[in-house]
Amino acid sequence: MFERILIPTDFSWYAQKTLFCAPEIPGVIEAVLLHVTEETAEPLVYRTLAEVRNAQSTPAHALAYAGEILEKAGISVTYEIVPPGDEGIHAAILESASRNNVDLILIGGKGRGFIKDVLLGSVSRGVLEEAKGHVLVTHFDETPGSLPVPSGSHTDRAVPLFSRILVPVDFSRPTVETMEFVNHLDGFDELILLHVITSVEDRKDLKKKLEESMASLSTLQRELDTGVERITPRIRFGDPGDEICAIAGEEDASVIIISRFGASDRSRDSRIGSVAAKVVKNARIPVLVR
């Protein structure tokens, strides 16, 4: 599904933790490991670990250390060091993603530039808003600890990245497309389908919306062909962004998969819908935006 991925890194603790998610991405074979820095005026590309190790560059040596993690997990790595250009770091990342024709960008929710109270780094936000394809934004407990060592095709984390998937659904066209996407995922254990009812007028309206929501969730379940037996439907009331983040914690979800736009995004002038943007900002687990 995601044979070639792009992983931008600034060598921060957050970026280092993000690397360990790469082996768990479905179908990954190749990775482009990218560092954006003003230390170079021209793009530098290294095709092998030996090349980047032997380069006379401090960023190259740091890339070699990071790339070794991926190569030990069986992922073929290309190493790139590029200047930020006039439009900034996020634009350089997106240009690399386009040039390398990647299927997904894997990026840490924060980087070296974040301050304590910022929930989503400016570079991550820029990439998320302007990306044309899939973006997986990681979130972690910010208490630094020992990093796991990838073994084979999986890391040694207790809960695999794609094991308990939470998919918010609003029964719009993007919901249908997201469910088609989930149908092509392999290897996960449980799917949690969440619909959030944002408002009701009275008891009669509440009953109607509950019945409609339950019927629509049942239809989605019947149409799924993932081979996964555990499909858990959930209905909540309130603000969709808040409820999605809350249920992710309550259900111990490992990743949230959400459409860039939803039914509430009537105007598509924005680069990303309000619900998706809020979820990526406030979630405490990785979020895949498609």
Give the start-to-end residue ranges of the domains of the chain: 4-138, 164-257
What integer pLDDT is reported at residue 119 of this predicted model? 52
What integer pLDDT is reported at residue 251 of this predicted model? 95
Give whichever of 67-76, 172-181, 216-225 has the largest mean pLDDT. 67-76
Strands 44-46 and 76-82: antiparallel
CATH numeric code, 164-257: 3.40.50.620
pLDDT exceeds 70 at position 212: yes
What integer pLDDT is reported at residue 155 of this predicted model? 43
Confidence of residue 154 (pLDDT cuts 50, 70, 90): very low
Residues with Cβ within 8 Å of 34's Cβ and at least 6 positions away in sequence, in order, are: 6, 7, 8, 9, 80, 81, 82, 93, 96
State the Cα–Cα distance between residues 45 and 119, nearest whole angstrom.
Answer: 32
What integer pLDDT is reported at residue 227 of this predicted model? 75
Which range among 98-102, 112-116, 169-173, 225-229 shows the weakest confidence by mean pLDDT? 112-116
pLDDT exceeds 50 at position 118: no
CATH numeric code, 4-138: 3.40.50.620
pLDDT exceeds 70 at position 171: yes
Topology alike, domains 4-138 and 164-257? yes
